[in-house]
Amino acid sequence: MAELHITDIESAINWWRERSPSPDGITACAEVRALGTVYALMVYYHEVECDEVTMPAKARDAWLAWYASTPDAPCIAICSTSQGDDICKGCGRTFDEVQHWPVMTPAAKRATWRRITMEGTAWRFNRYAERAREAAVASTAGDSPR
């Protein structure tokens, strides 16, 4: 069973704060309050992960709404696991993660995203990310990408 990392709880809280800002600068929306309770307990008990199954329903629903706004798969359409690699050079997922992605829980997918992001070795985080940044800079400058 996968666990939700505290940084995902923080991201969900910030997403909800932007989506449903406080009308008076004090009151938070119900989703922020639900997630904030989970976050506060994690901090109090010095936990970096919480169980997605036992999370209070309102907090889990708020987290799932944020999750639905994130990219699903880290795939960049260059899959070296189809060529026999144990870990995909394109996205950084293991062969099993690539194969089982459609049936993985949201928490398991986020755990995979966290791992590959922290490792930062997949092409999605270097070669192709650099090209995307260069193309974005070129398009804002009025130049065509090289």
- What 3-state DSSP class applies to 126? coil
- What 3-state DSSP class applies to 59? helix
When pLDDT is averaged across residues 138-146 and rounded to a whole number, the result is 63
Q: What is the pLDDT at residue 59?
A: 98
pTM over 0.75: yes
Q: Are 3 and 50 in contact (CB under 8 A)?
A: yes
92-111 per-position pLDDT tens digit:
999 999 999 999 999 999 99
Q: What is the pLDDT at residue 2?
A: 79
Nearest-angstrom CA–CA distance, 72 and 101: 9
Residue 38 has pLDDT above 80, yes or no: yes
Residue 44 has pLDDT above 60, yes or no: yes
When pLDDT is averaged across residues 13-22 and rounded to a whole number, the result is 97
Tell me the two tokens of residue 139.
């398009």
Q: What residue segments make up the domains of the chain, in order of their start?
A: 1-70, 71-146
Residue 113 has pLDDT above 70, yes or no: yes
Assign 131 a pLDDT band (cuts: 50, 70, 90).
low
Cα end-to-end span (Å), the chain: 45
- What 3-state DSSP class applies to 51? strand
Nearest-angstrom CA–CA distance, 85 and 72: 22
Q: What is the pLDDT at residue 141?
A: 72
